[in-house]
Structure 1
């Protein structure tokens, strides 16, 4: 990837041609905050999705998964404040009612409306509030309202999360944009996160699905905040083809360039989620080099990023490198413990699996940086992987001790 091929631009989820968004207050959150987002493609778009691995899955996810499998979508309606999860048969009917309201207001096929929800689990969705707010959401649809949409999907997030990039595919400039929410219940294999990616590229449902799954494995599935994986996690991608490029096919240069753009969007949003972990003060970036296989590197990196003991040490600025090596040891990765080198920022804290004398004050400075970077060299092979997490603070317990109340 080079700078003249990929460029970061403003505009978020509506940066690609033919997309509009809105965010309005439906009354699902307290204090009349925006809590209902609507995303629309002017023309039918190829759709792809990746979903939580949790066996307990929310009604909107079940409905959306069925519709994405058909390959086309026009709109996505997303509500915050209520997850519509563990709500029985009523939950599915409420998700359908939300999509029907959008389809009616926009005069589009109901099966091309996708639904996503986030918020408290086990509480019936006040769907009448959503239905009443849909006409206002439709009226507010505009290219410039991408930020309102990204704000509307937030729960405990402190900041909205959006990004957009452009990729040159031969003679055609293709744009990808995205928005996401996520702060707690974040762990590999998707995690309380919703993410929505748009592109004006010409690409089929099947090829988009292939690229999305590949990008997720190196981005969203490499972040962790607290080890919990939610019932509502989903990542949806829509490609409406308005850029007019020759169709992107697998195993071509165009596919690789498009994939790099998609990976950039996914990675940027994933890091924003990890950085905004509930109560977090610093992002943690763990890189594992010298792994025997990519899978070994991913296991080791995720294990360190997810270690509660190491996350707490980062919060306390304590260079307790033994917690890093311990986490690598129980990760399931294959390696020789007697060859491992560990660095915290610029400071090497272990060599060949054993202690080094190092400057504790300088290490504490490295642990004060944002992000805190950790390098683990297994010296067992040629593969590398990176994972992201955040420190574990007192505020995490405070926030989750009163999430419903």
Structure 2
């Protein structure tokens, strides 16, 4: 079912900070999406942030109507698209309430097999939240610091999580010293076969790595729950050859130095898509090499998603890195400024919707976040703050017709939402659903 969902701000928050919803973002405030995920029952979760940072506000400004602020917002939607609840977390201004949610960079969502919502962030923060968003069940914090030998083992879990059909956890794990940087960057792809709960975290079996020799690593490594060949990962115990070593001849400029690991996504229980992206440049990076690698659960790179041209289909324009996997049907999807692409389990390109055409030009305004367990694409409109849920066909050659119908339905549903919600410059405000503070 095609759905359009508003990423709403709680009315109490708007009133507290006296947010001028009609003000342009150039005045120092804004709303930005982090991630959207769906659960097996048809419900949807959205994670986004609202902030105000102005030059005139002092750090100790007592009036919340004048003070700067920043929050992450979680919103839960029913199968019918109604807002069931919201949660405020991760305030980032001095003097604000503390949050039980571990905050960090590149925050993502994942609905675990037991129904709990996992919020992950760099370096390896993972927070478990009750399905109704009422409370934090557990938080695994990581320390973004150099792993000196005398430090205690790190208590984090993963920088990103995804779930396979059988309930395995596909994890992206950050490490210190990647490309000699003094902070933790995603570097390991692994799989955990146990349950992640409030009382225990499963062992992650490392399958692939980006930088084969990160600097300043202690021996053994601080990530005791991440193992390779039965022992914790460390400078001499990690997956080799690294993905960058396997594709070394494809980066002509930097030989994959300063490359980045995208969020891995499952294509099946035993097959995963791992984006590997060359370094970016200030003057533009279109045409830089990238690989959407296929890695199995034995750590072997078995292939890649084929059919993308480095220049014509570059994900570097707009930094569109996400690959969304539908592991129940063995398909992968990617949306960037040049098209929407779909592959089968073998990595063969089965559909390409060109955004230069009038029919699909509107897709350039959307960001792809994930696939639902039913195989629906979850898209976010970057300016109108709406989530569009697009059903996909069994035959990928019919993808164009399905997306065309979804875009027409989006226009109709958006009009209906405007009449019901009366947004201000595409900012939606809800006053009926409960708002929790986490």
TM-score (norm 2): 0.25
Higher helix content, 1 or 2: 1
TM-score (norm 1): 0.26
Higher strand content, 1 or 2: 2
